[in-house]
A and B are shown apart, each in its own frame.
Chain A
Amino acid sequence: MLSHKNFALAELGNTAQRNAEVSNSDQFSFRRWATINRYRRELCPRITKGATTLDEIPPGVRTTGLTTMSSLNWKIQLAFGTAIFTLLVVGAVSYRVMVESSENGRLVRHTHEVLESIHDLRFDMESIGSSSREFAFTGKDSYLESFRANQLKIKQDQTAFGGLTADNPAQQRQLPALDGLINRAIQRAELVIGLRRSQGMAAPVAAIQSEPDERITIEFQALADKLQREELRLLALRDAETKGRLRQSETILIFGTLLGSLIAGAAGWSAQHESTARGLAKGALRDSEERYRMLLDGVQDYAIFMLNPQGRVVSWSAGAGRVKGYTAEQIIGHDFSCFFPPEEIQRGRPKEVLRLAAANGRYEACTVRVRKDGSQFLAGVTCTALRDQAGNLRGFSEISRDLSESKESEAKYRGLLEAAPDAMVVVDQGGDIVLLNVQAEKQFGYRRDELLGQKVKNIIPEGFAERLIADGIRTAAEALAQQIGTGIELYGLRKDGTEFPIEIMLSPLESAEGILVTAAIRDISVRKAAEKYLAQMEARYRGLLEAAPDAMVVVNQSGEIVLLNVQAEKQFGYRRDELVGEMVKEIIPEGFAERLVADALRSPEDALAQQIGTGIELYGRRKDGSGFPIEIMLSPLESAEGILVTAAIRDITARKTAEAHLVRKVEELNRSNQELERFAYIASHDLQEPLRMVASYTQLLSRRYKGKLDSDADEFIAFAVDGASRMQRLIKDLLAYSRVGTKGKDLLDVSSEDALRQALINLRGAIEESGALVTHDFLPTVLADETQLVQLFQNLIGNAIKYQKPGVPRVHISASNDGDNRWTFSVQDNGLGIESQYFEKIFGVFQRLHKRDEFAGTGIGLAICKKIVERHGGSISVESRIGEGSTFRFALTGRERKS
């Protein structure tokens, strides 16, 4: 299907890009491809299978709802029921109580009425009695009237009482007695009245005082009391009954309320619990839904949405929004036919699609769809029917992809593939090449059409399959790691039959056509050559190391010895295997690290310069523990394992001994030199004294006795004087000569011009006498002992003036810079000149070329000059031609360099 192919292409592009990245960097990711695949698998119904079932909906969501529902309902119902029941019970009981209370009240009232009636009766009786008695006593008619009234009243009251006690059989039984008594009382009263009316007062009085009156009263009272008691008793009884019933009601009330509350509470709590659980389940369901929603919405490039069986949109993903242009609010509830072009709607295509999907499980097509804005686009559409466990159609899921986009991206991916720096070849399961890029064409020398459909074995004869397996087994990281280095040696075969070493990176790819393998192929012939070269160099290096005359030790960054040569073995007395891996501290206990630092700090020139001479005193330790002085030269070496340091170790025992020896010798020499000098000085100094005596006295002799003795004596004395004088001069000169060394001062910056000037002042006499012309050029500042420089000039110029032929002596002094801070001075004269065979001799002590009578002088002058110049670190020489003149040359160091 086209959609698959596009998808595959997309992935190729991805692979190409990825492999390009892999070749050059450390990323190697399947992730994007894998993610999309997972989306496809997890979200959408299996494309290769039929309809989905409710099995695919997470079970939790389904089951939790129902059971919760019914159980919850039941519980709520129970709670409600109990509450209502309790309410009813309470109401009934309350009613009962109320009734009881009112009954009780009535009873009480009734009893009080009866009691009152009794009381009335008592009163009436009393009244009857009293009124009759009053009448008896007074005879007034008012009393008679009141008696009559009373009589009436009592009868009324009696009736009343009877009525009141109608419900009480016991009381009723007393009625006759009561009646009897009342009648007797009335009779008695009548009697009394009658008596009075007839007989006057005395008779009734007597009658009153007779017993039956009292007896009636007493009986009546007793009866009244009895009635009263009875009534009270009845009251108490009823009261107790009522109270009892009240208590009963109370108990029922309380108990009922409690029970009801309990049940209600239990039900309520249970309901709450269920509600929470339901809430959690709901929450879980929400989360789950949320996750799926996120997953769904994460897919931007595919429109994924659900339809109900009638074709109305019930769910909508973000991707759907993007592809189709509708938001969820806009489209949910609408018929999905709005996605179809109008002509298809007219034909009833949407319904047909649903029908086909329902019938076949799914429907796939590459067809035109319409966006919200009315624009049409080519879409790859898959519509799948969703069924529940029972097989009922629940709705449809649809996935569409905008192919026009992917067509662009297809082009982009193709471009990417083409542009990949490595050769890219896609191989199918049969080992045939299905796709390749231009680099592959170039590298292998084939045209594209020549390779398509060919077996990959034609270009990669061996190793492809093994590599595939290997890559399948290893993780991406391992694969990458092994890219650098050995790996499986693979060769590519060009069209012209030549082979070249290659490296391949493979990535598998699922597609509708099965598993494809994308191979990125890199020509590593350059790298291999480099490796070979490197190996050669390494071998050479090793060879060099072994052959080196010094002990060579290579140390790694942790200070371990990784390599050494045979000289090292010899010098340190170890076998090779004993030292490799050991710390360099074992053989060079101190100073290696410091030396390393020092060498790193200094330039090679400095390092070399310091190699000769002091440097850092290092000692090597042999296996037997003995130490020996060494010198090491270090040079860093970059390698794959980091920076290594090659150390050339030289045993300098011999040199050190020689040096020590030399130092000793020099010291001895210096000492003996000094002694000689002192000796010369002392000698000449001490010789002065006796010489002075001889000279002085011979002169005195000469002076005082000249002419007084004979001529022989004069001559003898003359010779003696002369000898003494000469000796004096010789000694003086010898002293001067030795003083060049002993009295020599430190060399400082001295203006040679000034020195010359001083010398000329000292020679003033000689210059004037001879009329000599002394000239000079610019003379520099030099490092010199000023006094001696003056002496030097004085001697040379003095000689120049002295050893002259007739005429004007000319002397010219100049100096030229030799570079490197050396000045060569020239004292040139036009004097007699010197024969070449004497060029050396003249600088000897007391060497003269002329007789004493020709020229004065002891012959020490030039010797002194030579000594002075040599003391200043230079040398003196002469050029001369007989008859023309001489040029004396000497070199001095210029002004001290300020560093």
Chain B
Amino acid sequence: MKTIAGEGVPVEVLLVEDSPGDVRLTQEAFRETNRSIHLHVASDGVEAMAFLRNQGEYAHAPRPDLILLDLNVPKLDGREVLAQTKMDDNLKSIPTIVLTTSDADADVLESYRLQANCYLNKPVQLDEFESVVKSISDFWLRKVMLPQRR
């Protein structure tokens, strides 16, 4: 069954981000998009994996439709999370967007190599940041067809 855009089923998004400031910003930015989004936050890689695998306290966590991943998170860093997610048969179909401060070519290349669906550099300016989040929403949550939730 297709996910219908607009009202209806809220989109589950997992945000892997350790900076509360950035988390709040992201939330605010998504609020601007008028999309029904449930934003889940994992503040480090381990938590992220637990969430994705429905382990521990996340046993009943929903499966995200989209993952926003910051590369520089503590414990298990974003790259690892990306690698593990994309190697896991269950999880690899979830679109994963790297949204990170680093614009280093090495990071970009590695992320794509690890099968990230796309790479976005977190803009320093607020309005630009909001623009990026809107783009994500427009593209990934409206235009793009996401795999059906199980």
Chains A and B are bound partners: yes
- Which A residues contact B (CB, under 8 angstroms)? 688-689, 691-693, 695-697, 699-700, 703, 725, 728, 732
B56 part of interface (Cβ distance < 8 Å): no
- B19 & A700 in contact (Cβ 8 Å cutoff): no
Assess the B101–A692 pair: CB atoms within 8 A: yes
Distance in Å: Cβ of B138 to nearest Cβ of chain A: 21
Nearest chain A residue, comparing its CB with the CB of B102: A685
Contact of A732 among B21, B25, B124 (CB under 8 A): B124
State how many angstroms separate the Cβ of B116 from the closest Cβ of chain A. Answer: 21
Q: List 16 A-B contacts (CB under 8 A).
A: A688-B124, A689-B101, A691-B124, A692-B21, A692-B122, A692-B124, A695-B125, A696-B21, A697-B21, A697-B25, A699-B125, A699-B126, A700-B25, A725-B125, A728-B124, A728-B125
Q: Which of B22, B125, B126, B129 has the most CB of A within 10 A?
A: B126
- Complex CA–CA separation, A692 to B121 (angstroms): 13
0/1 string, B122-137, CB within 8 A of A gives 1: 1011110100000000
B88 at the A interface (CB under 8 A): no
How distant is the Cα of A689 from the Cα of B129 in the complex, in angstroms? 13
Number of A-B contacts (CB under 8 A): 34
Q: A616 to B145, alpha carbons, bound, how many Å?
A: 72
What residues of chain B lie closer than 8 Å to A695, measured between beta carbons?
Answer: 124-126
Name the residue of chain B whose CB is nearest to the CB of A696.
Answer: B126
Please tell me if B28 contacts chain A, counting CB pairs below 8 Å: yes
- The answer for the CA separation of A85 and B46 in the assembled complex, in Å, is 155
Nearest-neighbour CB distance to chain B for A461, whole angstroms, equals 102
Query: For residue A696, which residues in chain B have a CB less than 8 angstroms away from its CB?
Result: 21, 25, 125-126, 129
> What residues of A have a CB within 8 angstroms of the CB of B22 in the complex?
692-693
CB contacts (< 8 Å) of A693 on chain B: these are 19, 21-22
Segment 83-107 of B: residues with Cβ below 8 Å from A: 101
B21 CB contacts on chain A under 8 angstroms? 692-693, 696-697
Given contacts A688-B101, A692-B101, A693-B21, contact A700 B28 (CB under 8 A): yes
Which B residues are CB-close (under 8 A) to A700?
Answer: 25, 28, 126
From A688, A689, A692, A732, name the one whose CB has the most chain B CB atoms within 10 angstroms: A692
Which residue of chain B is the closest to A690 with respect to CB atoms?
A: B21
Chain A neighbourhood of B19, CB < 8 A: 689, 693
Residues of A within 8 A of B25 (CB): 696-697, 700
Closest A residue to B127 by beta carbon equals A699
Residue in A696, A728, A732 whose Cβ sees the most chain B Cβ within 10 Å:
A696
CA distance A725 to B122 in the complex (A): 15
Tell me, rounded to whole Å, the shortest Cβ–Cβ distance linking A293 to chain B: 112
- How far does the alpha carbon of A700 sit from the alpha carbon of B101 in the complex, in Å? 19
CA distance A693 to B127 in the complex (A): 13
The smallest beta-carbon distance between A682 and chain B, in angstroms, is: 12
Q: Which 10 A-B pairs have the closest CB atoms?
A: A699-B126, A693-B21, A696-B126, A728-B124, A692-B124, A696-B25, A688-B101, A689-B101, A700-B126, A696-B129
Return A270 CB to nearest CB of chain B, in Å: 126
B127 contact set on A, CB distance < 8 A? 699
A728 contact set on B, CB distance < 8 A: 124-125
A691 to B101, CA, bound (A): 12
Distance between Cα atoms of A700 and B126 in the complex (Å): 8
| B residues near A688, Cβ cutoff 8 Å | 101, 124
Q: Which of chain A's residues have a CB closer than 8 A to the CB of B124?
A: 688, 691-692, 695, 728, 732
Q: Which residue of B lies closest to A729 (CB)?
A: B124
- Compute how far the CA of A699 lies from the CA of B129 in the bound complex, rounded to whole angstroms: 12
* Complex-state Cα separation, A98 to B48, whole angstroms: 165
Chain B residues with Cβ below 8 Å from A697 are 21, 25
Least Cβ–Cβ distance between A728 and chain B, in angstroms = 5
Distance between B99 CB and nearest chain A CB, rounded to angstroms: 13
Q: Could you give, for residues 14-28 of chain B, a 1 whenever the CB lies within 8 Å of some chain A CB and a 0 otherwise?
A: 000001011001001
- Give the residues from 107 to 150 in chain B that come closer than 8 angstroms, CB to CB, to chain A: 122, 124-127, 129
Task: Find chain B residues with CB under 8 A from A689 CB.
Answer: 19, 101
Shortest distance from the beta carbon of A721 to any chain B beta carbon, whole Å: 9
Cα separation A400 to B8 with both chains bound (whole Å): 155
In the complex, which residue of chain B has the Cβ closest to the Cβ of A698? B126
Q: How far is the CA of A688 from the CA of B124 in the complex (A)?
A: 8
Once bound together, how far apart are the Cα atoms of A691 and B22, in whole Å? 12
Q: Which residues of A contact B126 (CB under 8 A)?
A: 695-696, 699-700, 703
Q: How far does the Cβ of A717 sit from chain B's closest Cβ, in whole Å?
A: 13
Interface residues of B in 1-40 (CB under 8 A from A): 19, 21-22, 25, 28
Q: In the complex, which of the residues B21, B101, B124 has the most CB atoms of chain A within 10 Å of its own CB atom? A: B124
Minimum distance in angstroms from A98 CB to a CB of chain B: 149
A732 CA to B124 CA, complexed, in Å: 10
Q: How many angstroms between the C-alpha atoms of A703 and B126 in the bound complex? A: 11
> Which residues on A sit within 8 Å (CB–CB) of B129?
696
A382 to B19, CA, bound (A): 143
Among residues of B, the one whose C-beta sits closest to the C-beta of A689 is B101
- Give the complex CA separation of A732 and B127 in angstroms: 17
Measured between beta carbons, the chain A residues less than 8 angstroms from B125 are: 695-696, 699, 725, 728
In this complex, what residue of A is CB-closest to B21?
A: A693
The residues of B that contact A699 with a CB separation of less than 8 Å are 125-127
Nearest Cβ distance between residue B130 and chain A, in whole angstroms?
9
Contacts of B122 in A (CB 8 A): 692
A703 to chain B, nearest CB (A): 8
Expressed in whole angstroms, the Cα–Cα distance for A691 and B129 within the complex equals: 14
Closest residue of A by beta carbon distance from B128: A696
Beyond the given A692-B124, A699-B127, please list 11 additional residue pairs across the A-B interface where CB-CB is below 8 A: A688-B101, A689-B19, A692-B101, A695-B124, A695-B126, A696-B129, A697-B21, A700-B126, A725-B125, A728-B124, A728-B125
Residues of B near A703 (CB, < 8 A) are 126
Complex CA gap A658/B147 in Å reads 70
Which residue of chain B lies nearest to A728 when distances are taken between CB atoms in the complex? B124
Q: Roughly how many angstroms separate A882 CA and B112 CA in the complex, as a whole number? A: 52
Min C-beta distance of A660 to chain B, whole Å? 37
Roughly how many angstroms separate A696 CA and B101 CA in the complex, as a whole number?
14
CA distance A55 to B95 in the complex (A): 141
Residues of B within 8 A of A732 (CB): 124
